[in-house]
Amino acid sequence: MKKFIDVLSRWDRREISALDAGELLWCSERQFRRHRRRYEDEGPDGLLDKRLGKVSVRQVPIDVVDWMLEAYRRDHAGWSVKHFHAHLVKRHNFGWGYTWTKTQLHTAGLVERTKRRGAHRRKCPRKPSEGMMLHQDASRFAWLEGEAPLDLVATMDDATSTVYSAFLVEEEGTASGFRGLYETLSMKGLPSSLYTDRGSHYFHTPKAGEAVDKGRLSQVGRALHDLRIEHIPANSPEARGRSERMFGTLQGRLPKELKLAGIREIEAANRFISEVYLPEHNARFARPPRGRRERLRPCRSAPPAGGSLQRGGTGGRPRQHRRL
């Protein structure tokens, strides 16, 4: 107020122009003239913002705020704000934005503000075309509420982050690896390469910490070799960054969706994952490839039910994959 009166008196004495006055007050010449007229007509009160004390026409009704907060407390405690907001939009046709929802949850103390992320490894560039590389990995976690931790085995495309196959098993191994490949190859065809960790069901490592022995193939390795699919080992946990980030998203969302659906058994969970969760997950998180041409080779015929790609077997050379 004092600065405005000082500038106005200098303008009255014609020491400065209206344009100069506006620059001193960090406003336009036109706005300065408006303030001058209001000051002359109403005095100091004329300079107050006319919106003060008025209810915004865009204000969210208080009953909507209370309903949203109660829904989070009752059914969605621990959900991320993005997951919770997406659920409200899909299930309840919620019309208010993500930022507003986050602000209300922060204000109510239901969600903690996230800390700023630190330095991270440089991300590897994605493959340009779908089918050039698939990732297969597993994550052990308490996926079902009140049950022992299980392994979620997932197969994902590097170019698009599309999850083709995901299912729960008590422990990952040869059988789960073949099952993931069976489901993916039956649906999409043969990829150019498969990227996995160095687990014993994928690779033979003569000495811990050293390179894998690509001359001694596992059952999975032999199947991939006969199908002309390059098998690439990850030499460090950091090298599996894309699949690790995918599992971070799955751990934050899937257990809560299973709990909300009242699912506590593996078979029911796997049906839910395949029929309900994966389509929604891929619609939200998958991205189009940089290249247009797919690199997936078509199968001559679908793998027979009960074949080695599905069953895995316990010994000997797998045969059924030859029919692809």
In the structure, what pLDDT confidence band is assigned to residue 88 with cuts at 50, 70 and 90? very high
Quote the pLDDT of residue 60. Answer: 82
- The answer on 279 and 162 residing in a single domain is yes
Average the pLDDT over 191-218 and give the result. Answer: 87
In a domain, 318, yes or no: yes
Q: At what angle do helices 81-92 and 62-75 cross, to 10 degrees?
A: 110
In the structure, what pLDDT confidence band is assigned to residue 134 with cuts at 50, 70 and 90? very high
pLDDT in tens, 224-261: 999 999 999 987 665 577 888 899 999 999 999 999 99
Whether the pLDDT of residue 279 is over 90: the answer is: yes
In the structure, what pLDDT confidence band is assigned to residue 299 with cuts at 50, 70 and 90? low
Whether the pLDDT of residue 278 is over 90: the answer is: yes
In a domain, 158, yes or no: yes
DSSP per-residue codes, 141-189: E--STTS--EEEEEEEETTT--EEEEEEESS-SHHHHHHHHHHHHHHH-
Q: From CA 113, how far away is CA 259, in angstroms rounded?
A: 24
Comparison of pLDDT for 111 and 309, the residue scoring more: 111
3-state DSSP assignment of residue 110: coil
In a domain, 229, yes or no: yes
- The answer on 89 and 20 residing in a single domain is no
Quote the pLDDT of residue 57. Answer: 63
- The answer on 295 and 193 residing in a single domain is yes
Quote the pLDDT of residue 211. Answer: 83
- The answer on 84 and 183 residing in a single domain is no
- The answer on 276 and 215 residing in a single domain is yes
Average the pLDDT over 89-95 and give the result. Answer: 90
- The answer on 168 and 67 residing in a single domain is no
Q: From CA 296, how far away is CA 35, in angstroms rounded?
A: 68
In a domain, 278, yes or no: yes
In a domain, 52, yes or no: no
Q: From CA 130, how far away is CA 282, in angstroms rounded?
A: 14
Whether the pLDDT of residue 74 is over 80: the answer is: yes
Number of domains in the chain: 3
Average the pLDDT over 119-134 and give the result. Answer: 78
CA-to-CA dists, residue 323 to 157, 162, 307, 308, angstroms: 23, 26, 10, 11
- The answer on 77 and 33 residing in a single domain is no
- The answer on 43 and 85 residing in a single domain is no
The CATH number that applies at residue 155 is 3.30.420.10
> Could you give the count of Cα atoms lying within 13 Å of 198 in the half-sphere of its Cβ?
17
Whether the pLDDT of residue 4 is over 80: the answer is: yes
Q: Computed from CA positions of residues 210, 214, 220, 224, in that sequence, does the dihedral angle turn out positive or negative?
A: positive
DSSP per-residue codes, 243-307: HHHHHHHHHHHHHHHHHHTT--SHHHHHHHIIIIIHHHHHHHH----SSSS--PBPPSSPPPTTS
Structural domain including 249 reads 134-323
